[in-house]
Structure 1
Amino acid sequence: MGMLSKIYDKSLCKVRTVTAFICLSDDKNDWENILNVAKLNCQKVANQLMEHGYIVQSLRLVTNPFGEYINTDNFDFAKQDLSDLTNILNKLNQDNPLRLRFAIGEAKTAKEIALLPELIKDYGDLCNACVNIDVDEHGFLDNEKIMNSVHAINHIANITPNGQGNFNFTVNFNCNSFIPYFPASYHRNELGNVLVVGLETPDLLVSALNDIQHEKSQLSHADFMQLAYQTMHQALSQHILPINNIVNNTTLTDNRLPAKPKNKENRSW
């Protein structure tokens, strides 16, 4: 099979996730409806992608900073709210062919960062979270937030088996919104509801690059690197463009929610 036929192979470009970025408030009466609409929209996009031959691996939800909707006055209040979220997600997962995963988003204050180790210990896969490190007007990093995060990382390492709770926590530097992968993903209320399609492309790119290896000895380093760039661009385009069309042509349940491949495609609804 030559390169031109290989790059069309949809099994080489998997959909790692369809991720909904949503906004929750401290009114728990709204949680189930918001989560359910997001789940339905993720599933609709996933169904369309699968009908077109793509493998979809997961559905995910990411919220605004958890301190905006979870009671962070103390561990007990926070754990009760996470328990309520767990019950809702378990209910939504009952009839879902693809398991719905969840991230509580960003910890913004020292108090919220300090809560994370115990929350991650007790709620693990539900409690995917991150901290974003900002810079001041002079370009210096927020060292206090860095040190608070270091303490959280050490605490998580000590209270979770083999320190594996740190797979649920990241400290972000220069990370933009709409990262569809956990736990670096986060969301902000002012961005509204958005769907992002995250792709898994290593197999596709390796296959494409393997097809030009025979030209490496015949070209200068610069020319080969340019050829490699063009080859990868062509391979990715064969999937990103049709995936984008599939996403944009999917009718979503709530017109306030859209879908973005990361490689990503996104929309709002």
Structure 2
Amino acid sequence: MKIRTITTGISLQSPQDTEKIRQAAEFNQQVKEIFTQQGYEVQTTRIATNSWEEYLQGLSNIEILNQIQNLEQICLNLNLSFFNIGYASKLSTIALIPEINQQTSVIYCSSKIGDFVDGINLENALASAKAIKRISQESENGYGNFRFCAWANCQPGIPFFPTSYHQGDTGFAIGLECCDLVTAAFSQAGNIQTAEQKLHKLLEQELNKIAAIAEIISDKFAIAYHGIDTSLSPSLDKNNSIAFAYEKLMNGKFGQPGTLAISGMLTRALKSVSVKICGYSGLMLPVCEDIGLAARANEQTYNITNLLLYSAVCGCGLDTVPIPGDISIEKIAAILIDMATLAIKLDKPLSARLFPIPNKKAGEMTAFNSPYLVDCQIFQVD
């Protein structure tokens, strides 16, 4: 099991608050070293802030872009590769996101299109769809959307990007990559009930070790520990693909009958661990971040509707899903609204990170040049 991310959240009053960013970067490095000394591989450390609408309010668009470029330079000077400026919730700020994306390389952000209290914001959904479409057209192979998503009903403290944002005093959370535990549990089980029992036992053993270390770190540095996002973030290692793990329990392939039941079981197991949990703490099915999911997408054993269905019992929504480059803004907005409807109806956090692929149609292959993504066929959107 690997630690995918140590994410420290800070609240900025001003983009000039470089000392707070530096302190967070130093803290992340110290935490990484502690976990490394305990035998864990830490893949990334990250920083997330409160919504940039708060600390950049009252500025013109040009001033906002200048300030965010300054933040980018601060990050680069500190060797930070993952910095999230939180979410936009206004039409004017959502409209700025494509320019922010184009002028930065380590800045991540998101848009809020609804929550359980206020329902779906249809205007924000349409504005977010416009941003997704424009980012795809202004970045190589549509890759810019890796750093942007739209979400509904997501709370602060999610350690995974691009949804991550922060509120309140400085604190940290941990995101894991533990598909190897799922593979191990499912390999030893002959049915779904036994698999759930074995997975729960493995999660209890391994996550309590990490939680104990995190609590010690919290006490030592007097920084709040918000918990572990137990979500099964993906692996590019084919031996630990979440899709291939499913198939150890199925008489078929991921996407075929039985997939929904396993998805629900996985979420029960992930939420039942006796550690402090945060964020999604559910099943992630990011198509272009898992070799098995990409392989089954190529075989068309599942589609976008299936992914939304699985999100009803698990999941973080639609993640790294490639769609045709000529898709209309209205269709993108409809997908976002479907996602938000599920999130609000079920009162759960869901997000959508969609990749319109310029000049390519359904059935053609993506051509990402990224260490974080695997190529697969573009989904049909009817």
Please report how far the alpha carbon of residue 154 of structure 1 lies from its aligned counterpart in structure 2 after TM superposition: 1.2
2:134 pairs with 1:155: yes
SS of the aligned residue for 2:94 comes to helix
Correspondence 1:200 to 2:186: no
Greater shift, 252-261 or 82-91, is seen at 252-261
The answer to whether the aligner puts 1:248 opposite 2:215 as a matched pair is yes
Q: What corresponds to 1:131 in structure 2?
A: 111
Task: Supply the distance in 2 between the matched residues of 1:22 and 1:136 (Cα, whole angstroms).
Answer: 25
**Aligned residue number for residue 10 of structure 1:** none
Tell me how far apart the structure 1 counterparts of residues 158 and 42 of structure 2 sit (CA, whole Å).
Answer: 17
Letter in 2 for 1:25: Q
Q: Deviations over 1:47-89 (max 9, x none)?
A: 1111111100001000100111236743421221122212322
Q: How does 1:89-108 map to 2 (within 5 A)?
A: 89-93=75-79, 99-108=80-89
Partner residue, 1:122: 103
C-alpha spacing 1:266/1:169, structure 2 compared with 1 (3 Å): farther
Measured in 1, the distance between the counterparts of 2:219 and 2:127 equals 40
1:15 equivalent to 2:3? Answer yes
**Aligned counterparts of 1:161 and 1:103: Cα–Cα separation in 2:** 21
CA displacement 1:127-148 (0-9 Å, x = unmatched): x1111222576x7421111111
Match of 1:39 among 21, 25, 48: 25
1:129 counterpart letter in structure 2: C
CA contact (8 A) 2:101 2:147 kept: yes
Distance 1:83 1:183 in 2: 18
Residue 52 (str. 1) matches residue 38 (str. 2): yes
Residue of structure 2 equivalent to 1:239: 206
Distance change (3 Å), C-alpha of 1:144 and 1:194: same
- Corresponding residue for residue 52 of structure 2: 66
TM-score, length-scaled by structure 2: 0.57
Q: Which amino acid aligns with 1:18?
A: I
Task: Give me the TM-score of the superposition, normalised by structure 1.
Answer: 0.79
CA distance in 1, matches of 2:276, 2:65: 32
Per the alignment, in what secondary structure is the counterpart of residue 260 of structure 1?
strand
Contact 2:72 2:106 in 1 (8 A): no
1:100 Cα deviation from its structure 2 partner: 4.5
1:194-218 Cα deviation digits (max 9, x unpaired):
1001100112211221122xxx2xx
Unpaired runs of 5+ in structure 1?
Answer: 1-12, 94-98, 217-223
Higher percent of residues as helix: 1
* Distance (whole Å) between structure 2 residues aligned to residue 14 and residue 74 of structure 1: 42
The question of 1:185 aligning with 2:164 is answered yes
Whether the 8 Å contact between 2:214 and 2:225 is mirrored in structure 1 is no
1:229 and 2:217 aligned: no
Give the CA deviation at 1:176.
Answer: 2.8
Paired with 1:38 and 1:22, the residues of 2 have a C-alpha distance of: 8
Give the RMSD, CA atoms, in angstroms: 2.3
Once the 2 structures are TM-superposed, how far is the Cα of residue 174 of structure 1 from its aligned partner? 2.9
Contact 1:16 1:200 in 2 (8 A): yes
Structure 2: distance between partners of 1:226 and 1:143: 41
Secondary structure at the counterpart of residue 228 of structure 2: coil
Q: Which amino acid aligns with 1:197?
A: I
* Cα deviation, residue 254, structure 1: 5.6
In 1, Cα distance between equivalents of 2:64 and 2:145:
19
Q: Which amino acid aligns with 2:9?
A: F
Distance in 1 (CA, whole Å) between partners of 2:82 and 2:178 is 21
Bigger RCO (CA 8 Å, 6+ sep): 1
The percentage of aligned residue pairs carrying the same residue is 28
Q: Is 1:171 aligned to residue 159 of structure 2?
A: no
Residue 111, structure 1, aligned to residue 111, structure 2: no
CA displacement at 1:252 relative to structure 2: 6.6
- 1:258 deviates by 3.7
Q: Secondary structure at the match of 2:48?
A: strand
Larger radius of gyration: 1
Equivalent residue pairs, number: 234
- Deviation >4 Å, runs of 4+: 251-254, 264-267
For the 8 Å contact 1:71–1:81, the answer to whether it is kept is no
